[in-house]
Amino acid sequence: MPQYEILSLGQTIEKVENLIDLGNGDAGRLYHILESLKNNRPLYNSDQVYLENKLNSSFIVEVEKIEDNPLLPKIQRLIDLGHGDPGRLQHIYDMLLNHKPLYKSDKLYLETKLEGNHDIPTQKNRNN
């Protein structure tokens, strides 16, 4: 029976990004796996097996709830509505999803975007 390493969603995303950066594997497939993970979608069985082989380990991904950070659904809504730079908003989303700190400029950008969209309620927290 294989021993499973339990990885958080953020850890799994990091490992896939490292594989891509190192050129270790099928880049297209790894990007697809990465997007599935970032969008909180389950992996296909074949992708799960592929990733286990690439990491030389079996693992279980513990999916983190998006609702853990109330800003994530708001950022996703900005992206979906096309309000703002989608690349920058996705970067901010990914940083928050992975519990990483934001640059001050990104915090200000996000506050500006959220304030400009009255259908997206905001909670200002300038101490973060």
For residue 70 the two structure tokens come to: 């109330």
The pLDDT, as a whole number, for residue 4 is 62
Say how far apart CA 51 and CA 47 lie, in whole Å: 6
Kind and range of the H or E run holding 30 = helix 27-38
CB-count burial class (<10 Å; 0-12, 13-18, 19+) for 113 = buried
Q: State residue 69's pLDDT score.
A: 83
pLDDT for the residue 43: 83
Q: Helices in 39-81 by DSSP H: which ranges?
A: 45-55, 71-81
Length in residues, the chain: 128
Report residue 83 as tokens: 């309000």
Going residue by residue through the chain (128 aa), what tens digit of pLDDT does each one get?
Answer: 456 666 777 788 888 999 999 999 999 999 999 988 888 777 888 998 898 888 777 766 665 554 568 899 999 999 989 999 999 999 999 888 888 888 999 999 999 999 876 555 444 443 44
- Asked whether 9 and 64 are in contact (CB, 8 A), the reply is yes
